[in-house]
Amino acid sequence: MDYEYTYSENCILKDVCPRQKKIGCDSSCTIQPEFMYLYETSNIPKDMLQKTVLYPAKRDNDAFCTLKDIQMDIDTFVSEGRMLYLWSSNSGCGKTAWACKLMKTYLAVVCIGNGFKDRARFVYVPSLLLLAKEFQNESREETLDMLNKLDLVVIDDIGAVQNSNYDITILSNIIDTRYRNGLATIFTSNLSPQNLESVIGARLKDRVCSDVVIELKGSSHRRGTNVYKRRGAE
């Protein structure tokens, strides 16, 4: 994937970067381009680049602690090929944000000396299934191939749409290949494990929920309002 990199003084890693503390932040930094390459090629939604502070509902304290544990141990989580099924029957309670947080952390941890190799990919299941049917689309084959190989994949909103047999085949192929090859995968969904079974089948559900399963019980953080203000304005 081609992208243009330009050095930014507002580096996302600046606050915690040991190079910045020892040498300073300048355009000769090789950490920023390596991280930005991984970020750009990971397909993480653009609004997820910045640091996001997530406040747990009281009922989610334990779940947040477990997710934090995974974040602090993300390199081992990935190297051991672990699977995380993060679900909530409510929308907007931070599942995707957490999945992106974990992925970004992994990218930051492995970026030094990575040599511009792709390591992780975020896929939104409805988009993935649409792409899988676009046989003329040149990125179709590349995307499906990468999902079977990359160290870490986030499969966002599994079970969000009714799946045809073809859809199940596509998902099975990815999930099964990753499971067999010990590659780490994070799933997010609005379906409980039981309900997931009815959408993707028992065999696939068994693999998806074979390792860490976390439920978020809080309500949506998204709030609509009847007032219009420019973003960032007081």
Q: Could you list the residues that contact other proteins (CB under 8 A)?
A: 1-5, 7, 12-13, 15-19, 22, 27-28, 30-31, 33-34, 37, 41, 51-52, 71-72, 74-75, 101, 104-105, 108-109, 112-117
Task: Compute the least distance from the CB of residue 165 to other proteins, in Å.
Answer: 33
Task: Compute the least distance from the CB of residue 40 to other proteins, in Å.
Answer: 8
Identify the three-state secondary structure at position 53. coil
- In whole angstroms, what is the distance from residue 162 CA to residue 141 CA? 23
C-beta closer to other proteins: residue 152 or 170: 152
Residue 143 · residue 155 · CB < 8 Å: no
**Which of 213, 187, 48, 207 is closest to 125 using CA atoms?**
187
Task: Compute the least distance from the CB of residue 215 to other proteins, in Å.
Answer: 22
C-beta closer to other proteins: residue 108 or 199: 108
Task: Compute the least distance from the CB of residue 21 to other proteins, in Å.
Answer: 9
Buried b (16+ CB within 10 A) or exposed e, 157-181: bbbbeebeeebbebbeebbeebbee
- In whole angstroms, what is the distance from residue 188 CA to residue 158 CA? 6
**Which of 207, 188, 24 is closest to 94 using CA atoms?**
188
Crossing angle of the two packed helices 165-180 and 125-133, in degrees rounded to 10: 110
Residue 87 · residue 191 · CB < 8 Å: yes
C-beta closer to other proteins: residue 114 or 177: 114
Task: Compute the least distance from the CB of residue 134 to other proteins, in Å.
Answer: 19
C-beta closer to other proteins: residue 47 or 234: 47
Residue 186 · residue 102 · CB < 8 Å: yes
Task: Compute the least distance from the CB of residue 87 to other proteins, in Å.
Answer: 21
C-beta closer to other proteins: residue 142 or 206: 142
C-beta closer to other proteins: residue 15 or 47: 15
